[in-house]
A and B are shown apart, each in its own frame.
Chain A
Amino acid sequence: MMSDFPEGQELEQFIKRRRQKGLIWRSLFLLATTLGVLVLMVLLLTILNKTLGYVAVRYRMEPDELVVALYRTIMLDASQTQTLANPADLTRGLAADPDGVGIMARADFEATGQGLRVVPITDLSLQGVVVVVSEANTWLTDLTSLELMRLFTIATTWSELRPEWPQRPIHRWLPPASSPALHAFIAQVYGEDPRTQPTEALVAMLAMHLSPGAMRQIMAEKPLSARTHEDFYQLLVDRVMEPTILETWSFSESILNRKAIQARVAAMPDARLEFRRWITWDFITSPQSSRPEFAGVRTAILGSLWVVFITLLFAIPVGIGAAIYLEEYGSGGWLDQLIESNINNLAGVPSIIYGMLGLAVFVRALEPLTSGSLFGLVDPATSNGRTVLSAGLTLGLLILPLIIINAREAIRAVPQAFREASLGLGATQWQTIWSHVLPNALPGILTGSILAISRAFGETAPLVVVGASTAIFLDPHGPFSKFTVLPIQIYQWTSRPQAAFQNLAAAAIIVLLALLLVMNGLAVYLRHKYRRTY
């Protein structure tokens, strides 16, 4: 029998071709899948990459200069202090003064320091600068850094430092205020970061650089005693240092082009290169600000929480109620069918359409209600219906179909036998639902609701239409407040031309994603914990 199918040699070829084709396509499918995973990674990396990196900052007052200026003033104002511009003069004077102590550049000491000796500091190694005394001084053989700090500021007699030392006044010999040696001394002994200074030092710095009027105003806002260290530091940044971010670089650029960036910033007048983490506790707790250096997401997070709270209050009971009706009471009549197909249609309506509905109905038509004027609760900052309440209700309508669809599935999964058992004992329908159907469906309903809520949490477009505010500086505090939400904050920052806002947007995205992750984690946990056992 002659076969019409390939045989022998030909068959080999034929099979080989089919195998090759299979392999090629399989690789393509795999490639597409890898691509999908890759995209997710690139997406996350792109965003993370922007949350760290170099920035070029210009300060009105540089932070280290702030510290140095304070201690320079204190040191120069201390009793028995004299400054000599010429190191040779200082050497001569100090060598003849056994009660004296001085500060010199190490190079100057090595060049001119006859008759002087260096005092070793036990817990600090000073670079480029030395503490010197006359060779005639017999007691000063070593100093701790704490003693050193007091030696040039508040101490007046030697015995104040150590009781066994003479009870004679300290004579201080310093290089002039503008000398690098004094700068180096202060930076090493007292530090250069204002943040690490004691609160009193911060207050002193404020007082040094602000006018008495400005200080009075600050005290009027909130008494100094009620303020924390962090408050004072923030005031210093806002009012005295006043940083301006000139340019920012992403993490990868910072690593790869470090030399070029350093050269570039060196060429910028008055600019400093700093490595900045954009997600900080400050960022999360600071209110909105038009200056990227100070902007934070607290206002937006609170806005999001308020809006989602209203959404939840409205959509969860209504959604679950509707689901119960459709699953337990619905008879499949024309009305039920209409409702059912209608819900499916609503789930496919673009979210921005809900925004327009919210704008026309909640913001405009129901303004007396949503602005709170009906209850005499108008927020002084608001005069229209663009409030948390309008936004929450709009999102509520948006996620209602999702909640209904999910809840129906959960209710449907409860075995019919439970209902029959309950009804068979003479329970009414509602008793059956309340004590048998709902408890068993609850984990499923909860999981679906959390997912719907997290959808609401990330929604942007409808809230832009409903009228989230572009700039609000007061935290929302009720349903009738003006508001902004986290995604809108991200949208606005993304649309700004200055580079720093892109970094802020990236940081805010990470915050948003983290919050969503928590919610979804909760949903997964609930699903796992209450996994059905029947």
Chain B
Amino acid sequence: MMNTSSPYVIETQDLNVFYGDFHAVKNVQLRIEKHKITALIGPSGCGKSTVLRCFNRMNDFIPTARIQGRVLFHGKNIYDPDVDPVQVRRRIGMVFQKPNPFPKSIYDNVAWGAKINGFRGDLDQLVEESLRRAALWDEVKDKLDANGYSLSGGQQQRLCIARALAVKPEVILMDEPTSALDPIASLRIEELMVQLAEEYTIIVVTHNMQQAARVSDYTAFFTVDEHRTGYLEEFGPTPEIFTTPKSRITEDYITGRFG
């Protein structure tokens, strides 16, 4: 039985990731709280994306990648042999750094995931609802047949969010969702994240300190050791991390004094 009463949706235990011989991330212990936004920050190459992709088994597609330790989703290790990765990804959706809509119509972009997952309700309604939640409906409601690539970068990213919402996931992983966008579009996505947190658990990787400080409830700071292996340096409520970090390295990084 799933333990739904636990406040933690995702929990990692001694998570280690290797790419071939390279030890990319070591001993990560993280607890992701339900309906909260958790930000993963840290210098480039410290393994933020790697950790994020462990949460919905996207690393399965990298032939050299190897995982040790456990990633619990409601108490169940998603790397257990009896777990279907396809179902994991349905429950834990993902939004990528670069907007990547399918070269299909806006409507099909949103409806596709639902269709393959056996959705039998009213598709039109689902598309509208998802687009509304992604704050895109008003901009595209008259051109649902247009190709997804006819939208602006920021709109494309919101389309990708709508697409992720349409399969009704519990958790949404976002890997630098605003890095390819201009400041205005970024701000809209940030607002959206805050709204979505009412219903979803969100984990977001960002390089933007202000963004992490503005939107997230918890912050995890990663950095690398002398072997360039990433590890979790500090984790806690965002205000604490940004105002009274326990670690010297964290403080240096946040104040911009980092190497």
Which residues does A use to contact B, with CB under 8 Å?
3-6, 11, 14-15, 18-19
Write out the residue numbers on chain A whose beta carbons fall within 8 Å of the beta carbon of B116: 18
| Chain B 108-164 residues near chain A, CB threshold 8 A | 114, 116-121, 126
CB distance from B100 to the nearest CB of A (A): 22
Write out the residue numbers on chain A whose beta carbons fall within 8 Å of the beta carbon of B114: 5
Write out the residue numbers on chain B whose beta carbons fall within 8 Å of the beta carbon of A14: 118
Please measure, in the bound complex, the distance between the C-alpha atom of A19 and the C-alpha atom of B116, giving whole angstroms: 12
- Whether, in the assembled complex, B87 has its beta carbon less than 8 Å from a beta carbon of chain A, the answer is yes
Write out the residue numbers on chain B whose beta carbons fall within 8 Å of the beta carbon of A19: 84
CB-nearest residue of chain A relative to B167? A5
Selected contact of B86 from candidates A4, A5, A6, A15, CB within 8 Å = A15
Write out the residue numbers on chain A whose beta carbons fall within 8 Å of the beta carbon of B86: 15, 18
- Whether, in the assembled complex, B168 has its beta carbon less than 8 Å from a beta carbon of chain A, the answer is yes
CB distance from B135 to the nearest CB of A (A): 21
A3 pairs with B87, CB closer than 8 A: no
Please measure, in the bound complex, the distance between the C-alpha atom of A6 and the C-alpha atom of B114, giving whole angstroms: 11
Q: How many residues from B make CB contacts under 8 Å with A?
A: 13
Please measure, in the bound complex, the distance between the C-alpha atom of A11 and the C-alpha atom of B116, giving whole angstroms: 12
B120 pairs with A15, CB closer than 8 A: no
Please measure, in the bound complex, the distance between the C-alpha atom of A149 and the C-alpha atom of B120, giving whole angstroms: 100
B118 pairs with A3, CB closer than 8 A: no
CB distance from B111 to the nearest CB of A (A): 12
A15 pairs with B168, CB closer than 8 A: no
Chain B 72-114, CB within 8 Å of chain A: the 1/0 string?
Answer: 0000000000001011000000000000000000000000001
A15 pairs with B84, CB closer than 8 A: yes
A4 pairs with B84, CB closer than 8 A: no
CB distance from B233 to the nearest CB of A (A): 39
CB distance from A170 to the nearest CB of B (A): 85
B121 pairs with A4, CB closer than 8 A: yes
The 6 closest A-B pairs by CB, nearest first: A4-B121, A6-B118, A14-B118, A4-B119, A5-B119, A5-B117
CB-nearest residue of chain B relative to A7? B118
A15 pairs with B87, CB closer than 8 A: yes
CB distance from A25 to the nearest CB of B (A): 14
CB distance from B123 to the nearest CB of A (A): 9
CB distance from B238 to the nearest CB of A (A): 29
Please measure, in the bound complex, the distance between the C-alpha atom of A14 and the C-alpha atom of B116, giving whole angstroms: 10
CB distance from A5 to the nearest CB of B (A): 6
| Chain B 165-224 residues near chain A, CB threshold 8 A | 167-168
Q: Can you report 12 A-B residue pairs in the complex whose CB atoms are below 8 A from each other? A: A4-B119, A4-B121, A4-B126, A5-B114, A5-B117, A5-B167, A5-B168, A6-B117, A6-B118, A11-B118, A18-B116, A19-B84
CB-nearest residue of chain A relative to B87? A15
Please measure, in the bound complex, the distance between the C-alpha atom of A259 and the C-alpha atom of B114, giving whole angstroms: 68
CB distance from A19 to the nearest CB of B (A): 8
Write out the residue numbers on chain A whose beta carbons fall within 8 Å of the beta carbon of B167: 5
CB-nearest residue of chain B relative to A22? B86
CB distance from A22 to the nearest CB of B (A): 9
Please measure, in the bound complex, the distance between the C-alpha atom of A19 and the C-alpha atom of B118, giving whole angstroms: 13
Please measure, in the bound complex, the distance between the C-alpha atom of A11 and the C-alpha atom of B126, giving whole angstroms: 20
Please measure, in the bound complex, the distance between the C-alpha atom of A11 and the C-alpha atom of B168, giving whole angstroms: 15
CB-nearest residue of chain B relative to A13? B118
Please measure, in the bound complex, the distance between the C-alpha atom of A14 and the C-alpha atom of B119, giving whole angstroms: 11
Write out the residue numbers on chain B whose beta carbons fall within 8 Å of the beta carbon of A6: 117-118, 120
Please measure, in the bound complex, the distance between the C-alpha atom of A15 and the C-alpha atom of B86, giving whole angstroms: 9
Please measure, in the bound complex, the distance between the C-alpha atom of A11 and the C-alpha atom of B118, giving whole angstroms: 9
Write out the residue numbers on chain B whose beta carbons fall within 8 Å of the beta carbon of A11: 87, 118
Chain B 245-258, CB within 8 Å of chain A: the 1/0 string?
Answer: 00000000000000
Please measure, in the bound complex, the distance between the C-alpha atom of A18 and the C-alpha atom of B115, giving whole angstroms: 12
Write out the residue numbers on chain B whose beta carbons fall within 8 Å of the beta carbon of A18: 86, 116
Please measure, in the bound complex, the distance between the C-alpha atom of A18 and the C-alpha atom of B89, giving whole angstroms: 15
CB distance from B93 to the nearest CB of A (A): 13
CB-nearest residue of chain A relative to B123? A4
Write out the residue numbers on chain A whose beta carbons fall within 8 Å of the beta carbon of B119: 4-5
A3 pairs with B84, CB closer than 8 A: no
